Copies of this chain bind each other. A is one copy, B any other.
Amino acid sequence: MHIATEKAVTGTVPPALILAAGEGHRLNGVNGDNPKPLTPVLGLTLLERAILSCKEVGVQEFYVVIGYRSHIIVPYLSALEQRLAVPIQPIENPNWREGNGSSALSAASYISCSFFLLMCDHLFDPAILRLLLTAGTNTTDCLLAVDCHTERVFDLDDATKVELDRDVITGIGKEKASFDAVDTGLFLCQPSLFDVLKVAGNRGQHSLSAGLVELIRSREFRAVTIGKRCWFDVDTPKSLGLAKRALLQSLSKPDEDGFVSRYLNRPVSRRISEILVHTPVNPNGISLLSFTVGIIGAAMFCPGGYIWTILAGMVIQLASIVDGCDGEVARLRFQSSKFGGWFDTILDRYGDTAIVAGVSYGYWLSHPYAAVWLGAIFALPGFIMASYTKKEFVIRYQSKPPGGLFGKLIKRDLRVFAIMLGAIVNMPYEIMLLVGLLSHAGIGWILLKGYRQKMVE
């Protein structure tokens, strides 16, 4: 399953300035012959991830400061510009060795409005940019997204620390012994940032922090806390590995995943997605793949007999696992779409139909009664309508779907898993009927919730 991500923030979204000029020597060796910005992370380079994360919240204009091995990055950026259909302006900073403040400053002549400032080696949840945008509507201060959960920051020693007076930033630097939060490297800045960078530069200080110290002096620098949202500074092979793992972990959907999804399907599908993300297959292709495997599994029930039945059970469970990969790959690649989620849903319903047909046919071979088929016709609409009923509840009452045990019981992951278990004990048909019965009960239960909702309206 894959679901379209939250829509871009409305109104004009500021451009993004991405710093990608440094050498990042600590990653040498793990990223092949690539400069750091082109380090691949689960199918996309660091730079591409930074741009796509911004694009997701509606950024439509990009400035990328380059320096170290820029001759490799320039053609890459121009290819990226074409592929992503967004304007990406490369800005060469010949003095990149001086510090990242000098890199930011080299964009001064390009930007004359508020802008996002980010480091190309930071992976982050795009929701953090939305927090900055929201906080930025009522202020002309420079804003920095900070993480107050310092205990979860990997390599805290190397992190830039932030001292706070409420939301005003009163100190920033790597060496602070006492601090309130950690700098995530995500800013929403005003062009006045360039002025303070100039001031610091004139003093011979070319780091971003040196410029920010000027902002701190005038108390024009404020913090936006990110809560539990994720971000990673990818500096070392170890932090790269951790970031990958966290990215894969984030593919679970705690609110939506059923029992089986969470504890069985996801842990496996994540590993498959980790492979698939490096192939050219797209999410809709994965949906079709899962569907095809499901159809094959359903067909394997037809001959009847224990061996075929048990194999068929395994194959439909495999299809159910692969069914999670389309959404995972889509999210990893920023390819989620309305259509994709819908296509997957409809294929799932046809997959269910095939399973009902296969299981019933296999059972009918040894029980040649019309009742077997009537049972199939009884179970099938339960399978098909369960998810629709839930969805309609959400739409009609504009509230969360009824959760609870019943809500979890009528999910597809559990349905397929139950039939697979049924196959193992050579009772797939009986279990299918039982799951059908539960699905109808679930539909009735959701209807009842709707009826009660109506009463209190």
A364 contacts B357, C-beta separation under 8 Å: no
Residue in B closest to A385 when the chains form the complex, CB atoms: B349
B357 touches A450 (CB 8 A): no
Q: Please, which residue of chain B has its CB at the minimum distance from the CB of A392?
A: B342
Residues of B within 8 A of A346 (CB): 385, 389, 443, 447
Tell me whether A337 and B380 are in contact (CB under 8 A): no
* Contact of B374 with A343 in the complex, beta carbons under 8 Å: no
Which residues of chain A have a CB within 8 Å of any CB of chain B?
4, 337-339, 341-343, 345-346, 349-350, 353, 356-357, 360-361, 364, 370, 373-374, 376-378, 380-381, 384-385, 388-389, 391-392, 395-397, 443, 447, 450-451, 453-454
Please indicate the chain B residues that have their CB under 8 angstroms from the CB of A373 in the complex. 360, 364, 370, 373, 376-377
Q: Are B357 and A377 in contact (CB under 8 A)?
A: yes
CB distance from A334 to the nearest CB of B (A): 15
A385 CB contacts on chain B under 8 angstroms: 346, 349, 384
Query: Can you list 6 A-B pairs, Cβ within 8 angstroms, ordered by A?
Result: A338-B397, A345-B392, A346-B443, A353-B381, A364-B373, A373-B376
Q: Of B339, B341, B450, which is within 8 A of A342 by CB? A: B450
- A interface: dominant SS: helix
Shortest Cβ distance from residue A291 to the other chain B in the assembled complex, whole angstroms? 13
Contacts of A4 in B (CB 8 A): 396
Q: What is the distance, in angstroms, from A295's C-beta to the closest C-beta of chain B? A: 13
CB-CB under 8 A from A356, the residues of chain B are 377
For A364, the chain B residues whose CB sits under 8 A away are 370, 373
Cross-chain contact B381 with A454 (CB below 8 angstroms): no
Question: Which of B360, B381, B453 is the one whose CB lies under 8 Å from A380?
Answer: B381
Closest residue on chain B to residue A397 by CB atoms: B338
Closest Cβ neighbor of A347 among chain B residues = B447
**A338: which of B370, B378, B454 is its contact (CB, 8 Å)?**
B454
- A346 CA to B391 CA, complexed, in Å: 13
Number of identical monomers bound together in the oligomeric complex: 2
The answer to whether A451 and B339 touch (CB under 8 A), given A361-B370, A373-B360, is yes
Evaluate contact between B338 and A450: CB separation under 8 angstroms: yes
**Distance in Å from the Cβ of A158 to the closest Cβ of chain B?**
42
A450 to B339, CA, bound (A): 6
* A-B contact sample (9 more), CB < 8 A, given A360-B373, A361-B374, A380-B380: A338-B397, A338-B454, A339-B451, A339-B453, A342-B450, A343-B447, A343-B451, A353-B380, A384-B384
Complex Cα spacing A183 to B389, Å:
46
Cα-based distance from A374 to B356 in the complex (angstroms): 10
CB-nearest residue of chain B to A377 = B357
Nearest CB in chain B to that of A352: its residue: B381
Residues of B within 8 A of A349 (CB): 381, 385
Cβ–Cβ < 8 Å partners of A450 in chain B: 338-339, 342
Q: Are A396 and B342 in contact (CB under 8 A)?
A: yes
Rounded to whole Å, the gap between the CB of A343 and the closest CB of chain B is 7
**Within the assembled complex, what's the spacing in Å between the Cα atoms of A350 and B370?**
19
Of A353, A377, A397, A443, which is in contact with the most chain B CB atoms at under 10 Å from its CB? A377
Please determine whether B360 and A377 come into contact, CB atoms closer than 8 angstroms: yes
| Minimum Cβ distance to chain B for residue A88 (Å) | 21
A381→B381 CA distance, assembly (Å)? 7
Q: A337-B454, A361-B370 given as contacts; is B447 within 8 A of A342 (CB)?
A: yes
User: Are B392 and A377 within 8 A (Cβ)?
Assistant: no
CA distance A357 to B341 in the complex (A): 31
Residues of B within 8 A of A384 (CB): 381, 384-385
The CA of A110 and the CA of B388, in the complex, are separated in Å by 50
Which residues on the B side are within 8 Å of A338 (C-beta)?
A: 396-397, 450, 454
Give the Cβ gap from A457 to chain B, nearest Cβ, in Å. 8
A388 closest partner in B (C-beta): B388
Chain B residue at minimum C-beta to C-beta distance from A339:
B454
A353 to B451, CA, bound (A): 23
Instruction: Report how far A339 CA is from B392 CA in the complex, Å.
Output: 10
Sorted nearest first, the 6 A-B pairs with minimum C-beta distance are A373-B373, A339-B454, A338-B396, A357-B377, A353-B381, A388-B388
Question: Can you name the residue of chain B whose Cβ is closest to the Cβ of A345?
Answer: B392
- The distance in angstroms between the C-alpha atoms of A353 and B454, with both chains bound, is 27
Closest Cβ neighbor of A454 among chain B residues: B339
